[in-house]
Amino acid sequence: MTQANKPATTEETLELEEVDTSASEPWRVILYNDEDHTFEEVIAQLIKAIQCTKEKASRLTLEVHHQGSAVVYEGEFDKALRVKSILEEIDLITEIKG
């Protein structure tokens, strides 16, 4: 086994980055394009996650498809986490940026 293939030891732990959730700037949930989900699946999950109309979910889905990503939510950190979690229920690729 080469050095690169050795499993991490207990001394090689990753530090989790602390996030200041009290920041006044809005938090954004970004949805990324993938080749695994149909438009219908993404639209349905967006409606569930951000409680929007089918038309808005369709527009966001098309933006993700054509641009590679789209901001699907902007606002409070707690809600951004909830939106991200709901989108990831079906393994959509997301990220939160503040």
Residue 39 is predicted with a pLDDT of 98
pTM for the full predicted model:
0.78
Q: Measured between alpha carbons, how far is 31 from 10 in angstroms, rounded to an integer?
A: 34
71, β-bridge pairs: 30
* Residues of the chain falling short of pLDDT 70: 1-24
Give which of 34, 30, 46 is closest to 87, Cα–Cα: 46
- CA dist 88 and 90 (Å) reads 5
Q: Which helix (H) or strand (E) holds 79?
A: helix 77-88
